[in-house]
Amino acid sequence: MWKMNSMSDYLPFLATSVLNEQPEAVQALMRVWYQTLAYRTAHLDEVLSIEAKQAGVSLEEYNIILKGFKWLTPEECLKTFKPGNTMGSVVYASRVIGEFMLGQKLILVSQIPSNLTSTANLLNSI
């Protein structure tokens, strides 16, 4: 079962109205997220067992998962939310993955959230 556990799981789904009408609230949310990641880095041994439990896997399995995983810095996030023509762009990757899933009949409609570039603008102000 897919669980939404990270800030990046939620951000693309923030309503455009929230991004436009309450950007300071979204910026505060992002600042707290990066404070959380700083705490995570400083207390990794404590945090890993909590994350593994939340993911529903053993600590050993979780460590295997993490080998191919990287938390992005605010600067890296900003770069990934910019439109582009490689899989390094969330906007481009969303289109490619949406088209693939549509072609495989895994989804009925491929929709790219219209607020992906608005998200990049908010990340820029952190």
Task: Check if the beta carbon of residue 64 is closer than 8 Å to that of residue 73.
Answer: no
pLDDT higher for 124 or 3?
124
User: Residue 110 sits in which domain range?
Assistant: 72-126
pLDDT digits (tens, 9 = 90+) for 45-59: 999 999 999 989 999
Which CA distances in Å does 7 have to 13, 26, 28, 32?
11, 11, 13, 10
Would you say residue 102 has pLDDT above 70? yes
pTM score: 0.57
Number of domains in the chain: 2
Looking at the structure, tell me whether residues 76 and 125 fall in a common domain.
yes
- Quick one: what percent of the chain has pLDDT higher than 90? 25
Whether 4 maps to a domain, the answer reads no
Residues 92 and 45 in one domain: no
What integer pLDDT is reported at residue 88 of this predicted model?
87
pLDDT of 104: 92
Q: What pLDDT is attached to residue 2?
A: 38
Treating both helix axes as pointing N-terminal to C-terminal, what angle do 23-42 and 44-55 enclose, rounded to 10 degrees? 110
From 4, 1, 12, select the one nearest 115 (Cα to Cα): 12
**Does residue 93 sit in the same domain as residue 60?**
no
